[in-house]
Chains A and B, each alone.
Chain A
Amino acid sequence: MKSHKKEIITVAILMAAAVVIFAGILKPEATQTKKCSLIYIPKIRDNTNDFWTSVISGCKMAAEEYESDLEILAPDKEENIEEQNKLLKKAIEQKPDAILFSPSSMDASDELLKEAKEKGIRITYIDSYTKEELQDLTVATDNVNAGRMLGEYARKLIDKDSKIAIVSHVKGVSTAVEREQGFREGLGDYADNIVDIVYCNSLYEKSYELAQELMRKYPDLELIAGMNEYSAVGVGRAVSDAGAKDKIAVVGVDCSQEAINLMEMGVYKGIIVQKAFRMGYIGVEETIHMLNGDAVEKNIDSGCELVTPENMYNSDIERLIFPFS
């Protein structure tokens, strides 16, 4: 034959058409997300603390759903910055794809985090962050907003002459600073009535003692705000033990079963509950998305709700404060 060239071209065109048509019929499978190795370092692991328990279980749930490896390295005390750094160092040595981190300090972990970044490890902050921006992603409650909601609610409980005290957790950490700021904003002109701010280093005993001391120091105190679970529960215990629940209103941030008990007893007048499970879940989910190269929002607010004795058994609040398992 003189020339097969054209035949070959024709065949090729027809084949290409066939392939295109069949490719149209057979849609490609959905792309699988990559399996990632992640390490989460929370501030503390404590079974009595609903907040951290929920964050961790949210993380685990998301990791399981996305079939990724997640290791939890947790210190057993919240103010233990040294131990957290030790764990962070250990985590960096394992070279995971990403480290999820809830810094206990505004700056003490900067060196290590920079080292991690140099090694190509992605950093996600959960719940709190450092002064310097070292993270790729932050998932946290808008703590200013949380504080503001608490302040606005507290304002309704008291009048303009009522004295207010704040028991906060760790001086200088982002959550403490922002919640206090928001709380003051929410109180508005009542903020001038804040007589004292003390720090309990996230210890029930210390906040209990501090609350007792406050009650001694200011006998006409009408409202104490606890800025995290440890602070608020310590205050609640002290007020309950002192039999002052009708005299002193306790409001706080973060929930635990003890806090629920105290609310049922009428000690707690309001709690701001962070969506902890959601925070942990989204933290892991978005980190995996980021590692897969998908576009992610850099700052994600996981949200919070005000819980009062009146609404605590409403189904939407119920879902939030009683972990489903």
Chain B
Amino acid sequence: MKISSKFKSIQSSIFCAVSILVLSAVLVVTVVSLRYTNSSIYENSVMYTQTIIKQLNQNIDSYISYMDNIASVIAQSGDAYKYLYSEKGYGATKDENYSEYRQRLVEQFKTILKGRADIRNIGIVREDKNSPSLFDNGLSVRNTYVDLNTQPWYADAVGKYDRYNLTSSHVQNVIKGERPWVITLSRGICNYTGTEAEDGVVFLDLNYSAISELCAQSSMGDKGYVFILDQNGNIVYHPQQQQLYNELQTENISLVMNAKSDIVTVGKGDDEKIYALSHSDITGWTIVGCMNMSELLRNSRQTRSIYVLVAVGLIIVALLISSLIARNITLPIQKLRDSMKSVQKGNFDIEDIEVISDNEIGSLTRSFNVMTHRIRELMEQNVKEQEQKRKIELKALQSQINPHFLYNTLDSIIWMAEGKKNEEVVIMTASLARLLRQSISNEDELVTVGQEIEYVRSYLTIQKMRYKDKLEFEIKADPSITQVPIIRLVLQPLVENAIYHGLKYKDSKGLLTVHGYMKGENAVIDITDDGVGMDEETLKHIYDKHKVNYRSNGVGVYNVQQRLVLYYGKDYGIIYHSEKGKGTTASVVIPGIQEESHEKS
């Protein structure tokens, strides 16, 4: 079966339709659920991050507040302002308690530094380079090259007592020999001593240990991180601060600073990031949680894989089932079709198709089976009837001996008896007897060519005696042909025809020749007369039915031809050659070798 024609089959149509339907259904469901998973994972992550960032913000607020407490305790402790502002606190004449204040402050500072590893430096200082100052454990010295008024942590805090000042990340250069990166929290120290000394400041330098620890505690996944910006968009803390400072990393700070909502998405594809923001009113800082979108989506990848696996499995199962269904539906149809095809070709001898199910196709099959049975029966009946009919017809045709011929012959015998022509009476009567015997007694449809020729001889003998001066005949038959079977009463009507239409109208004596011989595989018997012949118009109508007339034996050329064709097929029959005035030859052509079956039937 060709593939192109297979495409048109119901089976493939059903299969394709079901497959496409199932495939698209599974795809749609999968895509929708994947989308839904993605968006729900995204939303969950965002909510989670926001919560974490808010929590972190509170932690940082409380951390800074705690640091501010330390700063305020120092700022308001008597020792600090007394140490800073007593006019006698420096120079040659020292306040008698000066070293006492100092000692207590140093102890206090030491305690604080010991307890808090995240405080890099602690100190009190005034802008005046000659005024007293104190850093850490009291051993550090001030960097006198630095003008404190240029340092935001000092300039913005001095003279303000109600609130602390918090810087961004910067390099603290107030202590000689040290330039650490810190975040500085500073507070102005109020002068309660009554001296006219200008204000000073207490400061705490915070290294990043506490803040980075707080930020690291906020789990943002492998690639996620937290960073902190101050109110001006400067980076306070970033896990990759060093890279940022060296322009090896960038962070979209302007976007964060201008963001109107708490969630900002930046970048595309694998670099897509989500920023979750939380602004603190206490510190003025903005805490930014940054998540990598691809990482978020990777979390959902496993879920997706399961979806996809299930979908693929479903599709495979669906394809198998649809192919099975399609086959089950179409298998009986195909059987039906094949069997119909063979019926179409005329082969009714097929087995019944097995009825698999009781559905529409089942009943169709059943009906088809019944139908072929019926057709077969009808055909068999028809064949029988036809056979019968043919036999009857043949019999009817061959059994008709022209009564006129009988009367005429009998009349001739009477005249000859009256004329005492005993010998001739004997011959004629014998011939007539032979003729009658042959035509009546033989029940068989087939005779041999020899018998048929003998029959013609009897007939011609009678006719010759009747038309003494008119007819002469000659019979030649190859021995090979005499045993060839032939249907009865073929030659006699033709001979009769030749006599009545050919020789009868001839003025002189006519000669009729019967000549039987083999030509290839065929047996041919020529009946030739040298009578008046026929013109073409007559020849054309030689096989027509109307040629039967009462004077012939009623058989006629038409009937002979019909019987020959009916029995042997179209390739056989009578061929006429005729020429006006010269004579006519009728050649009977039959198969030279005939099968047994034909003889029997």
Contact = CB atoms under 8 A, between A and B. Distances in A.
A260 B180 CA distance: 13
Contacts of A22: 30, 308, 311-312
Contact of B12 (A6, A21, A277): A6
A7 B323 contact: yes
Interface string A162-204: 0000000000000000000000000000000000000000000
Contacts of B234: 315
A87 B326 CA distance: 77
Given A1-B327, A6-B6, A29-B298, A277 B319 contact: no
B225 interface: no
B505 to A, nearest CB: 73
Given A26-B301, A26-B304, A275-B246, A14 B1 contact: no
Contacts of A10: 12, 15-16, 19
B145 A26 contact: no
A25 B308 contact: yes
B294 A30 contact: yes
Contacts of B15: 7, 10
Given A11-B319, A313-B173, A322-B171, A25 B179 contact: no
A322 B169 CA distance: 12
Given A17-B23, A29-B298, A315-B234, A265 B246 contact: no
A318 interface: yes
Interface string A1-30: 111011100110011011001100110011
Contacts, number: 100
SS of A interface (majority): helix
Nearest to A21: B27
A299 to B, nearest CB: 18
A10 B318 CA distance: 13
B241 A324 contact: yes
Interface string B166-204: 000011010001010100000000000000000000000
Interface in A231-279: 257, 260-261, 264-266, 275, 277-278
B31 interface: yes
Contacts of A275: 246-247
B386 interface: no
A281 interface: yes
A2 B16 contact: no
A61 B173 contact: no
SS of B interface (majority): helix
B68 to A, nearest CB: 24
B295 to A, nearest CB: 10
A17 B247 CA distance: 46
B549 interface: no
B441 interface: no
B146 A264 contact: yes
A144 interface: no
A319 interface: yes
Residue with the greatest number of chain B CB neighbours at <10 A, chosen from A1, A7, A315, A325: A7
Contact of B31 (A17, A25, A282): A25
A265 B16 contact: no
B247 A278 contact: yes
Given A22-B308, A325-B181, A319 B245 contact: yes
Contacts of A57: 242
B246 A277 contact: yes
B402 interface: no
A6 B7 contact: yes
Nearest to B319: A11
Contacts of B173: 264, 313
A58 interface: yes
B58 interface: no
B315 interface: yes
Contacts of B27: 18, 21
Contacts of B305: 26
A3 B23 CA distance: 23
A204 to B, nearest CB: 18
B13 to A, nearest CB: 11
Nearest to A257: B179
Contacts of A3: 1, 3, 6
Contacts of B248: 278, 281-282, 285
Residue with the greatest number of chain A CB neighbours at <10 A, chosen from B6, B242, B316: B242
Interface in A281-325: 281-282, 285, 313, 315, 318-320, 322-325
B17 to A, nearest CB: 11
B308 A26 contact: yes
Contacts of A18: 23, 27, 311-312, 315
B243 A61 contact: yes
B19 A14 contact: yes
Contacts of B316: 15
Q: Which 8 A-B pairs have the closest CB atoms?
A: A319-B245, A264-B145, A278-B246, A322-B171, A277-B246, A324-B242, A324-B181, A22-B308
Given A10-B19, A15-B316, A22-B311, 16 more contacts: A2-B1, A2-B6, A3-B1, A3-B6, A7-B323, A11-B323, A14-B315, A22-B308, A25-B31, A25-B308, A29-B298, A58-B246, A264-B143, A285-B248, A319-B246, A324-B181
Interface of B: 1, 3, 6-7, 12, 15-16, 19-20, 23, 27, 30-31, 34, 143, 145-146, 150-151, 170-171, 173, 177, 179, 181, 234, 241-243, 245-248, 270, 294, 298, 301, 304-305, 308, 311-312, 315-316, 319, 323, 327
21 contacts: A3-B3, A6-B3, A11-B319, A15-B319, A21-B27, A22-B312, A61-B242, A257-B177, A264-B173, A278-B246, A278-B248, A281-B248, A285-B248, A313-B151, A315-B170, A315-B234, A318-B170, A319-B245, A320-B245, A322-B179, A323-B242
